[in-house]
Structure 1
Amino acid sequence: MPKRQAAAVQSDASDGSDSGSERRASPKRTRTQHEAGTSQPATQRRRAGDGGESDGDAEADIVIPVAEDDAAFEAANLDNVRASIESGKKNVKGIAEYGILQAIEVEQFMCHQRLNFKFGEQINFIIGHNGSGKSAVLSALTIALGGKTNSTGRGSGLKSFIREGQHEAKITLKIKNEGPEAFKPDQYGDSIIIQRRFNKDGGSSWKIMDGEGRNTVSTKREELSAICDHMNVQVDNPMNVLTQDSARQFLSASHPHDKYKFFLMGTQLFQLSTEYDICLENIRKTAKVLVNKKEAIPDLRRAFNEALRRFKEAEKAREQKKKVDDLKKEKAWAHVNEKKEELEAKLADVQQKKLRIPKIQEKLDEAKEALQEQEAAVKACEGEIDNLGSMDHLQGKKSTLVKELRDNQRQIQSYNNDIRTMDTSISALEFAAKDIDRKIEAEQARMEANTKAKRDLVDRQLNDAKAEIDTLEARRTEINASLRDLMAANEETKAAGLRAEAEINTLRQRISEADNMVAKARASMRDIFVPFGNNIKGVIDEIERSAWQGDKPLGPLGRYVKAREPEKWGEILRSQLAGTLTAFAITDPRDRDQLKRILQKYQNNNLIIIYEKDMFDYSAGEPPASTHTVLRALEFSDPWVVRIMINQARIESLVLSNQRKQLEEELTQLRGGFSVRVYPVAVLFTRNLRGAQNMLLTGRDPAAEIAHHEQEKARCSHELEQLQQALNAHRVEFGERKKEVDKLTAEGRSVDDRLRKAKLRLRDIQEEANEELPADTAGYLAAKAEAEDEIASFKTQKEEVVGKKAKLLEERKGMEEQLKEVQGQIDEFSGQRTALENKMNEAVTGRVQIQANINFYTKKVEQEEAAVAKAQEFADVCQEEFAAWSESALEYCAKVETRRKPDNIEREIEAVNKALKAREQKQGATVEELTAQVNKAREAMEKVDKEWRQMSDLNKALRKSLLTRLHRWQEFRRHIALRCRLIFAYHLSHRGYYGKVLFNHEAQTLTLRVQTDDQLQAKGTAEKDPRSLSGGEKSFSTICLLLSLWDSIGCPLRCLDEFDVFMDAVNRRISMKMMIDTATANPDKQYILITPQDMTNVTIGKNVKVSRMDDPQRGAGLNMTAA
């Protein structure tokens, strides 16, 4: 998209030594305030006597037609401008997507030790007492964006802004950067952070970072200028950022001429005027250059005529060159004959190079066959991994169990809530029943003594029925408790049985592995190379018999390696280094294929390492002696093996430890560069190594290995027998408890039936007793019975909920055991898969080595083919040259048969030319030189004439373009002025005033005329000069002017400091409301308004943020609080 044009950000030229390192030429000339004394382009002020445009007139000037006067312009455009203003009020824009401030932070700046401040997106009021540092916000904003320090009115250099007693200050500014027109959103994101530091020594720097503050995109001033230019942010524009001094000057004591300067600079009309002056000066300079060019044309034409005359006189000497031409024809065909001999030699060279390619191709084919075999090995490993299957079902089962556990926990929590609710209800009902008992006792005391015997009988029946119910309920509770205990015990028994089954399977696998290892150990008694692969002894014997390009292959490397503490570190070292320990090493890559064939002959796929015999010092890469590494855990009998394993496995930097915390504390001193293997915490699957490889680094001889694994088998067999017995006991125990559960369940159903019948009898006796009682007593008893029924119901429900909760708790234990079992299966599966992947990685490594050989031979073939192609290319070029020379010679002349060499013919030509020169000396130049002189003179004359005409046309076009632009500049100024007058009158009407803005563009003045409400009553329609207005009226009128001028500025930022210092309460309230309304109608602009007064009489909307600044305190940062 096209960039927005804005005043360039200028470096602090006035900062003196504080910013000397940042002085650079600004990409665009920036206006200063003292330059603003001219209100219109110089081209408009310089008027020639007529409007003619002579091509050679260097002093010709541009003449602007006299524009219509302001009254005629206003009459013609008033309605359109007013309609545009009304349309703008209706079409409210959205919040600005970029260019507005989000936050600012300063440290050791002016009076602030630290200040954090966040801005609202539309209207920001910063209030606080005098001396609280409000104006420092605008100063920090100006400096952070590269504005001049003297424009802040607070100091003449950066050093004066550093807090007293401090050496350095820092300003961090966050700018919004969203929307489709954001600045480099792929680098900065939704916000841009600009940070500037400067110190007492005069140093100053920028850091421009992304919105997170993590990445520094640039530190250059040009990037900041580009950001401000793109977002149209103009901090040096006095209309955008009015500091205390400029605001006070603008509001109170500004002269009409000063207001007009503010108008021109704020709307950037003055910048356009300056640039038009530069354009005019360039046009005038070009006109002078054109005059000089035109004066040179006659001289060039005379020089051409003179050269042409001399050329015609020398043309007679051409007859003497005929013999030279004949000799040149013979010389041309002599060159053709030489090129033919060269072609025949190059064709022979091509044939010789082609003979070398088949030998290299044969080696390439052998490597490709080896690659196919290795591909088969890789596919076999992939097949084993595929056959291993997937653990998706285990992961799915794990996810299901986790979900069920969460659901179980939620249900238990729900039951707990129900139990608490029922306990509360039971307590309330029991309290109500006791109250009813007291009322019944009082009523019965008033009854006659003759009814006492009958009541006693009924009471005994009631008590007997209640006692029976209590007994049955107590038994039901006992049954429920017994059921819970039995079911919980059975769940534990079931979980223990599942664990026993898993351990039994593991032990059976270990017994099988022990049998396999015993067999391998017995085999190693006859062959010490069993741990390293199949018939490695035969491999070594064949290596000894074979001839090699380099040193004899070294290996297997494990022959030369022992573990210093095999019981402690052997398992982890074997797991990590098995592939390297079984590897062979060669010094010449050409020996790899031969060694590979020997290994494959005995069905081995051991790793082949190519190493260089370099006895390098590896001590620099080791940690301190107190750190235990793999290198220090091993003992080597061959120095080359040490260095091979250092290069291959980095054993000097692998740290061993069985205490993680201690190791982490030690690693903090190593400064990185070392790897860690923690054991036995780390999950190792050494049993997945090829069976015999488990005998590496054990420190045991074959007999000890056999004894070790037979002992391991006996131990596993004994544990297997014990676990089998325990599993059988769990099964018997589970069956017996199941019978008890069934028995108690049947008894519970019987108790429930008897309890239901007992409650029916109690209700019948109660109803019979109630019929004999007075109405009040019967009512009490009925209420008590109802309360007791509800209590019994709640207790029954509580028992059911407690039972369900207990069942859920038991189920949770089972699910946790299942989850633990599933996790164990997942871990075991991962170990098996890791072992297969390690095996496949070894096969892939071999394939990569073969592929490297293929690449080598392929490249060699390509190089030879390229050499053939290059030789063929030379031959083809020679062929083409021969054909071209032959064709050129035919074009030059008919074929001339000659056997002479070109040098001999050339000598004859020189002799003829020597005689010819004697004649040409009389004329002072050769025919060719005269021809060149004629052509050169013609070209010089035509070039100057063409350039003069083109530049003349261009200069005319530039004059016409500048004339159009000047006319538009005038129209633009009139439109802005008219719009300013209308908006000014509109704002004055909020106070009931009437007034207007008078622009005198010739006198360069802007004058206000205001008629207040008291003038309307006292003086009729007489208008008042602002100097005769009261302080509040004057400030209010100037605020209306400022808002009118702001309407014509494209910058998204509006800053104003202490705008209400001269206002009374009424004018201030109306001014504040007017500014808030104006800002609300322009949501794409951000307003930052600073005032020392409070906001109690101002209505605050949701788009207004008011922040109060406390007085700064020594030794503490400044707090910003929302008012």
Structure 2
Amino acid sequence: MSQDKSREFLHSGNDKDKFKFFFKATLLQRLKELLEAIRDQMHTADSDVQELEKSIKPVMRKLDELREKIKNMEHIEEIAHDIDNLKKKLAWSWVYEVDQQIEEQTVKLQKLKGRAPACQERIDRNTVVIDKLKKELIEKEENLRSLVGKTREENNMKKSMENNIAEAVKREIELEAEHERGAHMLQRKNGRLNQLQAQLRDFQMQHMQSTQAEASQMEKDMQNIQQQIDHLQSNVTRLREDENEFTAELSGIVKSINDISKEIAENDRRTKQIKSNIADLQRQQSNTVTAFGGQRVLKLLESIETNHKKFESPPIGPIGAHLQLASESWSVAVDRACGGLLDAFIVTCYKDLHVLRECASKVNFNNLRIIVYDFTRPRLIIPDGSLPTTEHPTVLSVIQSENHTVLNVLVDQGHAERQVLVKDYEVGKSLAFDDRMRNIKEVYTSDGDKISLGEKIAELKNEAEGIQRTVVEKNGQKSKLVKDRCDLEQKIADSKRKREPEEYCLEKKILELDDAKRAFAESNRYGAVDNTELEEDIKKEKNIIVERELLLNKINTKLAAASREVNDRREAYKTFMDSVNEETGDRISANDELELVKHKLDAAEQEKAHYEGLMTTKVLPAIKMAEAEYADLQQLRQDNFKKASTICPESDMEALNNVAGSTPEQLSAKLNRLKQRFDQESRRTC
């Protein structure tokens, strides 16, 4: 500070002035001024900077935009590069995916081809079994026929031997009865002779001793004897009436037993017939061919197969086996409408007709219907004007067939296009008699509830069960009647056992009464008694006894011979029946073996048909389909390989880390996303 300033500072009166002098003296004021000047310059510079910034801001913005565009372009180029790589990967991924599919298809094809030999082996094995079983079946049938023929002879022999035994037994019984009657008569004659001799002695001793009291006693004795005779006659009559009643009742029971036995036999025959029908229906159910013509059709088809070289073209038939129905409810109506056409065969020329007729004759199919038709003729086109003018279906509209010749024959021969089908009779009646309906040949009804094979089998089984129940009931009735018959036979035997002693006593009492009457008459005579008549009777009785004894000896001789004959015939019959029973066992065994062979043959044929159908419908078509798919995949691989090679060589895929783990769909989706991003980035850049 200068001296002047110092003096001024010292002479200043207040602090404010002193501070001002201090502020100046220390150069703080100058510093303040400099700072203010600098601040003003800074404000000016800031204004200039702001002006400059404002002036360069569009340039900076444009520069930032350019940088952003450069960055976007680099990103777009990267995306485009990725898209190009993805296209290469996608192209080759299609090739690699097809390669994988080819590998899988190869494995599948090998697996399918492996089924064919196994299936064919089963078919061949069943063919061998069928041939063997057919030979065995023929042998068994021949054996059974010979046994059946022998059985007829044995039955005739058995019947003849039984008749002979019955005749011998009848003669023996007659001789026994005659011997019994002779012995009884001889016994009676001996008794009569003894009585006459006793009477003679009594007359000789007592003719002088007869008194009135004795005569009275004799009358009383005769009355007692007469009462006893009356009582015995009453008992014998009652017992005979009981026997007659029992015999009549027994005859009725025997007749009932015979009727029931016949009914049971008829029911058994009916049951066997039903079982046979069920077996036939089951065979038809398992084999549609046998539904048209029965088992003869199978033999005919085998004959056709054997002689196939003789035919110009293989016959078609039976026609029904080549048809399929749109609805099973029309089966009966179609069968009726077509008549015998469903069982017929179709040939292409008359030469084939004669060959087929020979084949049919060989298998005893003599009434086979054969239709000659041109197989090369195309499917018939029926004009609308020739069809029935009705909404109801026709036979032609409800059937289907893969063979147009079959349909042509049904149209030409059976007028299937003009056979109208209706649900019930009333509709059919109104349709048949409606003059406005044209081109209608016939109308057939079907309510849709006709019995199918399964229902028919069930119905037959129910009928068989009903018959079996009836047989059981009849057997129960028969058992009861047999028991009643045994009871009646026992009652008749008991009555006879009671009656015979009564008859013997009655005869004895009658003789006793005759003797008493004769004695009473003799006792009433006076004087000497003439015994000439009594002696004459005794002589006659002796002569009769001698004759009876001679006759009885002859009867004994005949009876012994008859007994020996009966025993011999029974022994021969027993020996014969033992051999017959053995042969019956053989026949039953042969029949069982035949049925077993038939069962095995049916099972083998069904198994063969199953595997043939499996081979035809599943194995071979599956192999063909797999081979076609394999060929398609090979062609697809070639096409994809060609396209991929056009895009880039396969060696470039190593640099792209291959495409393992990514499917074409995934790569395609990723490529689409990149393309969308590329489009978005491109639009943004623009």
Same structural fold, with TM-score higher than 0.5 when normalized by the shorter chain: no
More strand by share: 1
Q: Higher relative contact order by CA 8 Å / sep ≥ 6: 1 or 2?
A: 2
Name the structure where helix makes up a greater proportion of residues. 2
* TM-score normalised by the chain length of structure 2: 0.30
TM-score w.r.t. the length of structure 1 is 0.20
Greater C-alpha Rg: 2
